[in-house]
Amino acid sequence: MNHARAERSALSDLFLQVGPDAPTLCEGWSAYDLAAHVVTRERRLDAGPGITIKQLAGYTASVQDGMKAKHPFPELVSMMRRPGGVYGLMPFLDELVNTLELFIHHEDVRRAQPSWEPRELPDELERLFWQRLSVGARVLLRRSPVGVVLHRAEGGVVLGGPKEGPKVEVTGKASELLLFCFGRQAHAKVTLSGDTAATARLTNAPLGL
């Protein structure tokens, strides 16, 4: 089983465990909303652009609401458990595109529940996350108000944010740095070092895609 399928399976199991009304780290979204988002993203390509383009967000939201209206929560989870759309036809594309997405949403549910702890992830997956950060940090940190120096606990440095001005150093495992850069700063197990004001601004910045 590849990493995307493993995260997909674990997230599906967790959805059924916590139930449709469970909170998530996605502001305003329950587990039901998040499951509808994943299914919409994979099976309704026409609604995909609204995930990142504000002007189209209304249409995407209406499609997502339609998914909830049409499918009970267990049915949506069952749909999500297997790759949909083009990802179902090309498993390699599911691994390439959805590994990060499913990991982040898995943690969105896990870390919104009480008494959560970070998972011990395979070294291969941690290396993959670091590779993706090495390529994508500039994009993920483009809205950072301060410079960011990502320090991988196992070794390695990646820069992001403005090149001039104060810098904040963020240290942790690749998986935790990934969550931080995708806007989950408050729930990422990282260590921040730098000017107090700059650190506060980074912690509250709208990071991610």
> What structural domains does the chain harbor?
3-110 (no CATH), 123-203 (3.30.1050)
The percent of the chain in helix, strand and coil, each rounded to the nearest 5, is 60, 10, 30
The Cα 208–Cα 182 span in angstroms is 4
Q: What is the pLDDT of residue 1?
A: 56
Q: Mean pLDDT score of the chain, rounded to an integer?
A: 92
Distance CA 142, CA 126 (A): 23
**What predicted TM-score, i.e. pTM, was given to this entire model?**
0.92
Mean pLDDT over 49-73 rounds to 88
pLDDT at 174 over 60: yes
Backbone φ and ψ of 145, nearest 5°? -80, -10
Percent pLDDT > 70 in the chain is 100
Bigger pLDDT: 129 vs 96: 129
pLDDT above 60: residue 63: yes
Q: CB–CB of 109/14 below 8 Å?
A: yes
Which helix H or strand E contains 158, and what residues bound it? Answer: strand 157-160
7 within 8 A of 15, measured Cβ to Cβ? no
Q: How confident is the model at residue 50 (pLDDT cuts 50, 70, 90)?
A: confident
CA gap 57, 50 in Å, rounded: 4
Q: Tens digit of pLDDT for each residue in 126-159?
A: 999 999 999 999 999 999 999 999 999 988 999 9
Mean predicted confidence (pLDDT) in 47-74: 87
pLDDT given for residue 150 in this prediction: 97
Q: Are 80 and 35 in contact (CB under 8 A)?
A: yes
> What spatial distance separates the first Cα and last Cα of the chain, rounded to whole Å?
28
Question: Which range, of 18-32, 37-51, 62-76, averages the lowest pLDDT?
Answer: 37-51
Pairing mode of beta strands 147-152, 167-172: parallel
Under 8 Å between Cβ of 148 and 168 = yes
The pLDDT of 172-178, averaged and rounded, is 97
pLDDT surpasses 90 at 96: no
Which residues are 158's β-sheet partners?
Answer: 150
Contact 50, 59 (CB under 8 A): yes
C-alpha radius of gyration, the chain, whole number: 17
